[in-house]
Amino acid sequence: MPRLEMKNMTKRYGNFEANSDVSFTLNPGEVHAIVGENGAGKTTLMRMLYGLEQPSAGTILLDGKKVDFKSPLDALSHGIGMVHQHFMLIPNLTVTENIVIGREPKKAGFFNRKKAAELVSEVSNNFGIPVRPTVKVSECSVGEQQRIEIVKVLYQGADIIILDEPTAVLTPLEVKELLKTIRFLAEKGKSIILITHKLHEVMEVADRVTVLRGGKVTGTFQIADTNADELAKRMVGRDLVQLKDRKQTVGNEFLKVQGITVQGKSEKPLLDGITFSVSEGEIVGIAGVSGNGQSELLQAISGLIEVEQGRIELGGTEITLSSVKYRREAGLAHIPEDRYLWGAAKEASVEENAFMGYHRNPVFSKKNWLLKRDFQQIVKKWIGKYSIKAGDLNNNAGNLSGGNLQKLIVARELGHETPFLIAAEPTRGVDIGAMEVIHDALMEKRNEGGAILLVSSELTEIMTLSDRILVMYEGRVVGELSGKEATEEKLSILMAGGTLNESIETTA
């Protein structure tokens, strides 16, 4: 008998169906992955299972008995726990305090700290998930925080564990350890639902996979009977297009960064003597665990923060102290890592967001008047090319889904046709179909002689697109590899602060 059955689940928001007649089963000790494009209905389905949403129709059975969850506490009381993509930990509390919160062991009416630490260690040891019970969460790495969240749901008694994009912020070595943990949990009898868009991880760790597209199931497969290409085709409804061939077009250095330092408020610099260059016809990727200076580097180059020391040149012109406007005019375009904070004005219309940066272009302005009619034709071409679901161009950009807003920003910045482009997390939140279009556009720009600086938390994206890869750790560039010699293992060692020589010596 299945541990869990979700039968004919439907969720409507007005006239829109986020899930339509979705059925899903989970067996004891099984890892069952749910994959699909952005907006396919994965999250809505899990929110109904976890009591965060009430279904419009459908039935949930647990061990053959009908259940009705009104809240996450209700779901948890029935043995269903969820590890969210964005961790829900309190930094100033210890690991133990975070894990036992709400279910604290007590002695004489007071929190029994010693007993709590013992219970946490017991769960940690039973499932082979190492945590440090007495350390504050603020001192833990991202990988450790992921383990804390898993130990937390195990401590709470979960037998069914939902993992929502669990590898999104992990290094490759941390990903491998997590996948081992998932398999071990399944061997211990836990049932795992894995929500992800990383098909190679699905193929490595899952027993079965269910594919959603447009809120409907397009297939459920045993992993042994399918492959990543078939799953991708089921997700997007067509064969994926191959990336454009890489032409040998490297020209002169266009961006030069020499010894730049940004101090920040802490003792350790945010950027510590960064030196590198990007040439015409080249994509230089920057890899690193989030928070190691990548954001500050892009902000320094684009003029959003000041540089204490060093020099930045763009096309032979020094721009170290120049305004953002001047840098734009010197040939810089920028797909920012945070579409809401840096990339768009949510209260402005879709058209106004598309127009940003073009208002000074004499082709689209005359005597301080914007020539909107001409520009609208260009926006409509972008909408077609990138499959942007925008509706009326006068609607607020904030009404677009995150993925569609991302595609609009990418189209806008590539549309400037500048000689240099910063592409930070260019495919964050977009589906596989849009991802291939964006990758193809970046490669086309490179092949035509454009210089591109790429930052991405997706290591496969860095490795697929980059001619050279720089690795950042604690505000410094700690290694450089060519695209051909880069491997996940080498990059992961550098991203964790190690050196490749040390690794070779250790393995020898």
Token digits of residue 315: 């096309």
Q: How confident is the model at residue 502 (pLDDT cuts 50, 70, 90)?
A: low
The two structure tokens encoding residue 388:
């942007």
Which secondary structure element, helix H or strand E, spans residue 175, and what is its range? helix 172-187
User: Does the pLDDT of residue 500 top 90, yes or no?
Assistant: no
Q: How far apart are CA 342 and CA 420, in angstroms?
A: 18
- What is the b/e burial string over 339-361, where b = at least 16 CB atoms within 10 angstroms of the residue's CB? beebbbeeeebbbbbbbebbeee
List all residues 6 or more positions away from 96 whose beta carbon is below 8 Å from its beta carbon: 113, 116, 117, 120, 133, 134
pLDDT higher than threshold 80 for residue 85: no
For residue 506, name the pLDDT band (cuts at 50, 70, 90).
very low
Are 236 and 37 a contacting pair, CB within 8 Å? Answer: yes
Q: How many angstroms separate the CA atoms of 60 and 56, rounded?
A: 12
Tell me what the mean pLDDT of segment 98-107 comes to: 92
For residue 288, give both structure tokens. 């690193």
Q: What is the spatial distance between Cα 403 and Cα 36, in angstroms, rounded to a whole number? A: 13
What the block records as the tokens of 203 is 């193929």
CA dihedral 153, 156, 159, 161 (to 10 degrees): -20
What percent of the chain clears pLDDT 90, i.e. is strictly above it? 60
Per-residue pLDDT, averaged over 68-86, amounts to: 91
User: What are the backbone angles phi and psi of residue 332, rounded to the nearest 5°?
Assistant: -105, 130
| pLDDT at res. 240 | 65
Per the DSSP assignment, residues forming a β-bridge with 209 are 33, 221
> Poorest-confidence range of 332-346, 357-371, 376-390?
357-371
The pLDDT value given to residue 241: 65
End-to-end CA gap in the chain: 49
| 504 pLDDT more than 50 | no
Residue 477: enclosing H or E segment and its boundaries? strand 476-482
Q: How confident is the model at residue 503 (pLDDT cuts 50, 70, 90)?
A: very low
Residue type, 225: D
Asked whether the predicted pLDDT for residue 371 surpasses 80, the reply is no
Q: Is 459 within 8 Å of 476 (Cβ atoms)?
A: no
Beta carbons within 8 Å of 276's beta carbon, 6+ residues apart: 257, 284, 470, 477, 480
CB 496 within 8 A of CB 292: no
pLDDT of 180 reads 92
Domains of the chain: 4-236 (3.40.50.300), 253-341+419-507 (3.40.50.300)
Q: Which residue has the tokens 């840098």?
A: 327
Instruction: Report the pLDDT value the prediction gives residue 242, as an integer from 0 to 100.
Output: 67
Q: Which of 276, 266, 188 is nearest to 453 (CA)?
A: 276
Looking at residues 263-275, what average pLDDT do you find? 88
pLDDT tens digits along 247-258: 877 889 999 999
Say which amino acid occupies 123. Answer: V
| pLDDT on residue 314 | 96
**Of residues 342, 461, 364, 343, the one with CA closest to residue 406:** 343
Residue 497 has pLDDT above 90, yes or no: no
* pLDDT reading at 505 higher than 60: no
The residue among 202, 225, 255, 245 whose CA lies nearest residue 450 is: 255
Q: What is the pLDDT of residues 306-362, one digit of tens each?
A: 999 999 999 999 999 999 999 999 999 999 988 888 889 989 998 899 988 887 787
CA distances from 407 to 114, 302, 306, 313, 386 (A): 52, 21, 29, 29, 6
Mean pLDDT of the chain: 89
Q: Does residue 184 sit in helix, strand or coil?
A: helix
Closest CA to 46 of 17, 82, 77: 82
User: Residue 374 and residue 376: Cα distance in Å, rounded?
Assistant: 6
Matching residue, tokens 């994965």: 42
Q: Beta-strand (E) ranges in 431-488? A: 451-455, 468-473, 476-482
Kindly state the tokens that stand for 265. 């408020």
Whole-number Å distance between alpha carbons of 313 and 147? 43
CB atoms within 10 A of CB 328: 18
Q: In what order do the strands lie in the sheet with 451-455?
A: 332-335, 420-424, 451-455, 282-287, 468-473, 476-482
The single-letter code of the amino acid at 488 is: E
pLDDT the model gives residue 79: 95
Q: How many CB atoms lie within 10 A of CB 266?
A: 7
- For residue 116, the SS3 value is helix
Token pair 């200076």 is found at 293
User: What does the DSSP 8-state code read for residue 470?
Assistant: E
Residues 162 and 4: beta-carbon distance below 8 Å:
no
pLDDT tens, position by position, 135-165: 999 988 878 898 999 999 999 999 999 998 8
pLDDT band at 459 (very low <50, low <70, confident <90, very high): confident
